[in-house]
Structure 1
Amino acid sequence: MAAKATPQEGAETTYKRLENDRNPYTKRAEDCAVLTIPSLFPKDSDTGSTNYTTPYQSVGARGVNNLASKLMLAMFPPNEAFFRYQMAQEQEAQVASGDGAKTKIDEDLAAMEKVVLKFFEGSGHRVTLFEGIKQLVDAGNVLFYWTLEGLKLYRLNRYVVERDGMGNVLTIVARDRYSKASLPPELLKASKLDDDATSATPVDVYTHVYWDGENWQSYQEIGGEAVAGTESTYPKGKSPWIPVRLSKIDGEHYGRSFVEEYYGDLLSLENLSKSIVQMAMIASKVVWLVNPNGITQVRRLNKATNGSYVAGREEDIKPVQLQKFNDMQVAKGTADGIEARLSYAFMLNSAVQRSGERVTAEEIRYVARELEDTLGGVYSILTQELQLPYIRVTTANLMTSKALPDLPDGLVEPTVITGVDALGRGYDLNKLVQFIQTLESLGEVAWSRLKIGNVISRIGMSLGLDVSELVMSDEEFAAAQQAQQAAAATGQAAEQAVTQAAQQQIPQTA
């Protein structure tokens, strides 16, 4: 874990000190947004009334939206678990030898997963996470603040972060700008605004989060003074503040964006697209040149109706032509080549989901595999800095609110399944199918030693189904077997009685 960070200075002072190190990253993020989606990363001085210049090409915007959508689909698939709960290794070893005990524990953990997934789908966090993934693609950095009411997002120009040499977070300072009318009562009292301040007077509130060596500490500050009553302490792994990078650069506090890697192609395509559009507009303008010494009268041509005859010579009037066709073809060919490269990089050429139908598990698996091939190690860092911290803080807060059983720390740990295995328990189903097929090839001896009840339960968990109401328990199965045997015995006795009675009625013959 990160080394101890003691707040030797206030939140606002820390923010301004670390702001100088952050400014180059925000400048690059603004430049990348200009070529993709300008409103995605506005300048700090921009407001809702700011008019942004629309790029001449749409490849950047389409690429950001497409890549963010595919990352969201692979990392947080709808109605599919992107994580699983697992017991600690020591506890798992203790129950592994128990008959069916491990299966029962897995069923309980699967039930906990369903509670978390139900909260996730109903909390609205998915919307904010998608917005955050777009920030990662375009700006490379984003900060989330987790609450039961919703997930709050901070763009890079609204927070600073400090990391140690291993990349572990030491300090986070987030800046919120409120109006006087929207300030909470405790913050309004601490703001010490003048009585003549209007309701629209802006107030900057700084939230300082730092690691003290054992826990995360946080407090809020206004005007250089800490606000009493805003102090909070979070155990390791349970902080609601989640800073995320798209890529890890050793020795840097912030990451780099995906768009930044292709900034040269995007800038070239923007300039070429602008030139082509402007030249096309010039070429589409129709202007006629008239020979002043010719016999054709322009006035008669203008007044002539459709299909009428006018005296004149064709060579007296000619349209203006640019004679730049070959030059424009060179520009268009270059632009097409750049667009093809960008389309491949942003995965615009891959269409896997069928229109008008639901997304299947195989389609999600295809997207995950393609992202793994295209983005390489992006999955690894997003797992460590986004998925895993998110599910840990969600679990901790749901335990606090009694939505989940309050388990001791270290007993159960969430595990994120990444890459092709990001389909949750569907990967286990493939293993189970292969296992059963292998047993079949070994013959009846191996098949007879299979605990079929546990296999059925695990298949149901892999499919995300609650099999408790579908499959008989061991006791129910034993009772059903006894009832079947008793019915068979009763039927056999009745058949024998009927046979004996029939035999008695047959007359004896000599």
Structure 2
Amino acid sequence: MDYDHKDRGEYSLGEPAAALYGRLKTKRDAVLSTAREMATITIPSLFPPEGYQSGDQIGENNQSVGAQCINTLASKLMYVAFPPNRPAMRFELEEYKLKKENDGLSEDDKQVLLSKLNVALASLEVTHKRRMEATRVRMAYVTYMKQLEAGGNAAWEHEKIGDPVVHRMDTYVVKRNKRGEQLFVILEETLLLEDLPKEFADRMREERKIDFEGKAPWECEITTHRVCKTVGSKDAPRYIEWSEYEGEIIPGSKEDQDDLPQIYAGWLIPQYGEDWGRSYAEEYRGDHYIVENGYAALQDGMAAAAWTLFGVKPGGSTKLADLIKARNLKWVTGDLVNDVTVLRVDKGSDFAFVDNTTAKAERRLARAYLMVSSVQRDAERVTAEEWVQLTGELDEAMGGLHSVIAQTIQRHVVMKFLALHKKEEPDLPDFEKIAGADVVRTEIVTGVDALSRSHEGASLRRLRRALVEDLGPEGAARVMSDIEYARRLAASEGVQTAGLILEDKDIQANDQSKLQTGIAAQAAPGVIEKVAGTMAEGGKEALLQQQAQQNGVMPNGN
């Protein structure tokens, strides 16, 4: 195998990726142990125990509160990141740059250009939204959030636009700089030989004949290490990727990914100066354990309380055989009150104390994970007040952490999707080239921001009503352009205007045609009748001439 890394240029970490992975994963053990601990009392399947094999028993807990906490917060984070029936991104024009790039145009032409570009950008947002809805991005994002909530770390891989993949932290290692930016990620993968290049796979079968001989194709696997490395300058980084097996680069695995990594190591609560982040559940570890242990004690207490034993006083007048044979509502002779007793567990007050303490911890978790919120609705039309309340609750409950997520994890997911969509459909408009370089800025919407275009539409309607009230219909028509109003309103609603809103020249042509029609309609009735009569006489004369010619006689008798 090739262990010489001097001639590999950028595609090298200075040593085999497997060796570096083995050394760095020891620094991951403490964080991974905490992640497994928190998963045990929330959702055990998020982080199976070490040595877990598919189909093994993962474990079980004594309550579902932890799972409800993780699921609820993950759902709301996804809901705010990808609002229903709203684009997850917004393209904003840098108007001063646009005007600078088009100094030769008049102010009116600049405004028309600005309006048309806003409409086109809104249409492009809708195009991206529809494509995203046809992928598994939302579903994968929920899984991503669950991993981050319980373990604090997870890797997002997006190679094919429709199939993003989330990797648990026990499958990769990451190295970061002091600013928290990833320098490289090493992902450990188990691949089938059939999925590798044929020449390389055939060589593996020959070199490891003892391991693979007699095995079915789906049983022939090797462990590889995929590297995603940051290269280039600090201000303009780019990312490269390759896969190694025992220090050798697997043929065909080299890839240059430009300015967005294919494997992004996300962390929920950043720990700058360290390689791994911390989890949200870890901050509420005490209450999670109170709920887990409290419900465990209550379950044991219920089992004890439900355990029913009868006793009969020895030598009493009541016979045990009569009690055993007696059916319900039958008579038995004897002193039942004094001779028969039932085993009792006199710990009601103790159980009440455990129940109250557990309930208090459960309420604290409900507030921390927004389980008490009822503003989330699955609807196409969600009011602005609901958005404001939900995003405000997220930031308040998470200590501002939601804003960090929006500009790191969520931003990468959206920007990577946009890059893949442009790669899939090269004919998508490139407005930077049309309007001038760097005049369009991509913003990631976070709940209430998603309604900004709708707010623009509401503001337009309010302005028009105010102008009509203050200036009258005619005055409002003089100061406000109906065409511009329609274009901006369409942009606020994300409606495509092609073939819907007429251009100025078309409107003028229509107005001229209507004007001419109106003039004709207002002509004197006598004039119209005279013209009609003249046309009728002309038609009669032509008919007589035609008949005379057919009979060989001229109309005047000649």
The question of a shared fold, defined as TM-score above 0.5 by the shorter chain, is answered with yes
Residue 141 of structure 1 corresponds to 153
Q: 1:194 aligns with which of 208, 216, 221?
A: 208
Matched residue of 2:328: which SS?
coil
Residue 505 of structure 1 corresponds to none
Return the alpha-carbon distance in structure 2 between the equivalents of residues 258 and 441 of structure 1: 53
Residue 153 of structure 1 corresponds to 166
Residue 109 of structure 1 corresponds to 121
Residue 244 of structure 1 corresponds to 266
Matched residue of 2:185: which SS?
strand
Matched residue of 2:523: which SS?
helix
Indicate whether 1:274 and 2:296 are aligned: yes
Q: CA, structure 1 residues 219+182, in 2 after alignment: closer, same or farther (shift >3 Å)? A: closer
Using the TM superposition, name which of 491-500 and 16-25 deviates more.
Answer: 491-500
Matches within 5 A, 1:315-464: 315-353=338-376, 358-362=379-383, 363-364=386-387, 366-401=389-424, 402-405=426-429, 410=438, 412-423=440-451, 425-433=453-461, 435-436=463-464, 439=467, 443=471, 448-464=478-494
Return the alpha-carbon distance in structure 1 between the equivalents of residues 222 and 479 of structure 2: 71
Question: Deviation at 1:326?
Answer: 0.7
Question: Deviation at 1:361?
Answer: 2.3
Q: CA, structure 1 residues 418+493, in 2 after alignment: closer, same or farther (shift >3 Å)? A: same
- Paired amino acid for 2:117: I
Return the alpha-carbon distance in structure 2 between the equivalents of residues 395 and 484 of structure 1: 46
Residue 228 of structure 2 corresponds to 209
Matched residue of 2:130: which SS?
helix
Q: Deviations over 1:255-296 (max 9, x none)?
A: 221111111100111001100111111101110121112110
Using the TM superposition, name which of 249-258 and 26-35 deviates more.
Answer: 249-258
Q: Deviations over 1:437-462 (max 9, x none)?
A: 56557645677322332222222222
- Paired amino acid for 1:159: Y
Residue 85 of structure 1 corresponds to 91
Question: Deviation at 1:477?
Answer: 2.3
- The answer (yes or no) to whether the contact 1:246–1:382 under 8 Å persists in 2 is yes
Identical counterparts, % of pairs: 26
- Paired amino acid for 1:209: C
Unaligned runs of 5+ in 1: 502-510
Q: 1:30 aligns with which of 33, 36, 39?
A: 36
- The answer (yes or no) to whether the contact 1:140–1:258 under 8 Å persists in 2 is yes
Q: CA, structure 1 residues 182+217, in 2 after alignment: closer, same or farther (shift >3 Å)? A: closer
Residue 190 of structure 2 corresponds to 177
Residue 5 of structure 2 corresponds to none
Return the alpha-carbon distance in structure 1 between the equivalents of residues 116 and 88 of structure 2: 21
Q: CA, structure 1 residues 358+324, in 2 after alignment: closer, same or farther (shift >3 Å)? A: same
- The answer (yes or no) to whether the contact 1:5–1:211 under 8 Å persists in 2 is no
- The answer (yes or no) to whether the contact 2:172–2:187 under 8 Å persists in 1 is yes
Residue 242 of structure 2 corresponds to 219
Residue 55 of structure 1 corresponds to 61
Residue 546 of structure 2 corresponds to none
Question: Deviation at 1:310?
Answer: 1.0
Residue 506 of structure 1 corresponds to none
Question: Deviation at 1:388?
Answer: 2.4
Return the alpha-carbon distance in structure 2 between the equivalents of residues 90 and 209 of structure 1: 38
Matched residue of 1:395: which SS?
helix
Indicate whether 1:284 and 2:306 are aligned: yes
- The answer (yes or no) to whether the contact 1:88–1:412 under 8 Å persists in 2 is yes
TM-score for both structures, normalised by structure 1: 0.88
Question: Deviation at 1:342?
Answer: 0.9
Q: Deviations over 1:304-354 (max 9, x none)?
A: 233221111121001111111111111111111111111111111222356
Residue 18 of structure 2 corresponds to 12
Q: CA, structure 1 residues 256+186, in 2 after alignment: closer, same or farther (shift >3 Å)? A: farther
Using the TM superposition, name which of 284-293 and 145-154 deviates more.
Answer: 145-154
Return the alpha-carbon distance in structure 2 between the equivalents of residues 343 and 61 of structure 1: 12
Return the alpha-carbon distance in structure 1 between the equivalents of residues 325 and 93 of structure 2: 90
- The answer (yes or no) to whether the contact 1:290–1:317 under 8 Å persists in 2 is yes
Return the alpha-carbon distance in structure 2 between the equivalents of residues 5 and 262 of structure 1: 42
The number of equivalent residue pairs is: 495
Unaligned runs of 5+ in 2: 1-9, 532-558
| Greater C-alpha radius of gyration | 2
